[in-house]
Structure 1
Amino acid sequence: MTTARKERWATLAGISAFLGGLLHVIALIGGADWIYFFHAPPSVVESARLGTWLAPVSTLLITALMWLCSLYAFSAAGFVRRLPLLRTGLFVVAFICIVRGLIFFPLIMIDRVWLSRLDTFELVASVIWLAIGIFFALGLRAAWKKT
């Protein structure tokens, strides 16, 4: 695989993380029903309904973290200057996303109660997390070979 092709993975990781952050902002603007739809914890949904600070602050914090991940991916792709601890950052993000994506599958195999509550949203979300984690891992591979 050529270096340019590997940089595409980092670009895809950056776009995915950016869109994830944007989705959080859209859900916040959409209100409590949107936040509920995206499976936020009940306390966050209630905060959105009551207009307290928990929903906007937690949502914007998650958005900022996702956009920071996006910056790291774009740095690996060469769109922004090299960020500090680039490989470490990409590794941590890839690891967290892959674990989040894979954790769903052992749970449904071991816990029949969990399986009975199988939710299409959770399955789709896990697949998306796994894909993004793989994008970051492949982006890390490209960043590793650059140095």
Structure 2
Amino acid sequence: MDVSRQVNRYLVLSGLLNTIAAILHLGCIYFGASWYRLFGAGEEMALMAEQGSNYPTIITFAIFSVLFIWALYCFSAAGLIKKLPFTKFVLVLITSIYFIRGFIGFIFIFMPIGRSSEFWFWSSFICITFGVCHALALKTMDKH
């Protein structure tokens, strides 16, 4: 990392948020049904976890992997780790996905499809918050 260049704090924050979300998903795998319930994954996922099904683990590990890769892209853009390919494009894509997921999720508050209205509200709020942080990172990326 070039020490004369200031680190983009929004990129670092975005990377940390993605890392925390990824770790929480690993927690669901490790702690099982009680964590699936706590984080609103739905009773079906919790029951499958209780019954020893691999499905919740596979789905949750896939989400963990995506979030972890997103964290790596943020840290790469911040200059904290090796430069990854297509960094700016990937960050724009990540930001877009967070906003799309956030706004679409608000629709499901009124028709929760297997999850509670609270899950859709809070997960959408979190996604939009993450999207704003990533957007600020993109906006300030070229200034650092």
Measure how far apart 1:37 and its partner are. Answer: 2.6
**7-16 or 124-133: which moved more?**
124-133
Q: Which runs of 4+ in 1 moved over 3 A?
A: none
* 2:121 counterpart SS class: helix
Give the distance between the partners of 2:49 and 2:116, measured in 1 at CA.
Answer: 26
Measure how far apart 1:142 and its partner are. Answer: 3.6
Q: Give the helix-richer structure, 1 or 2.
A: 1
Measure how far apart 1:19 and its partner are. Answer: 0.2
Identity across matched positions, percent: 28
**Residue equivalent to 1:24:** 25
* 1:40 counterpart SS class: coil
Q: TM-score, normalised by structure 1?
A: 0.80
Q: CA RMSD in A?
A: 2.6
* Residues paired across the two proteins, number: 138
What does residue range 19-98 of structure 1 map to in structure 2 within 5 Å? 19-98=20-99
Unaligned runs of 5+ in 1: none
Q: TM-score, normalised by structure 2?
A: 0.82
Unaligned runs of 5+ in 2: none
**91-100 or 41-50: which moved more?**
41-50
Give the distance between the partners of 2:21 and 2:102, measured in 1 at CA.
Answer: 15
**Residue equivalent to 2:133:** 135
* 2:12 counterpart SS class: helix
Residues 131, 124 of structure 1: CA spacing in aligned structure 2 closer, same or farther, 3 A cutoff? same
